[in-house]
Amino acid sequence: MASIQRVLIFLVLLYLVWRVLGIRGRKLSRELRESGIGREPRSRPVDPSQPLVRCAGCGTFFPAERIQRDRDGLGYCSDDCRQRLAASGEHAAS
């Protein structure tokens, strides 16, 4: 059947990817060395792997790691939002 051909094609692709990555990696590390070794930005913008949650106060989306929780378990983007909602009409649900 064609499964052997598929395996061969897969191996060829794998080889090509490996070569491309290898060449790129070497170039990249050389560039990094030339331009003052790997400066890692300390404050990354927003980690795309972070799940976003919605603020119960203002409705904006923000990374889940910055969540501020209410006594009721509601999530807020900041303490300000939490306090603002607590100050104005606290329990809309109950």
State the residues that interact with Zn ion by CB under 5 A.
Answer: 55, 57-58, 77, 81
Residue 57 Cβ vs Zn ion, minimum distance, rounded to whole Å: 4
Between 28 and 64, name the residue whose CB sits nearer to Zn ion: 64
Rounded to 10 degrees, the C-alpha dihedral 26/28/31/36 comes to -110
85 three-state secondary structure: helix
Cβ 59 to Zn ion shortest distance, Å:
7
Nearer to Zn ion, 29 or 90 (CB): 90
- Choose among 25, 22, 3: nearest CA to 14: 22
Q: Cα 13 vs. chain centroid, distance in angstroms?
A: 28
Q: Which is nearer to Zn ion, 30 or 69 (CB)?
A: 69
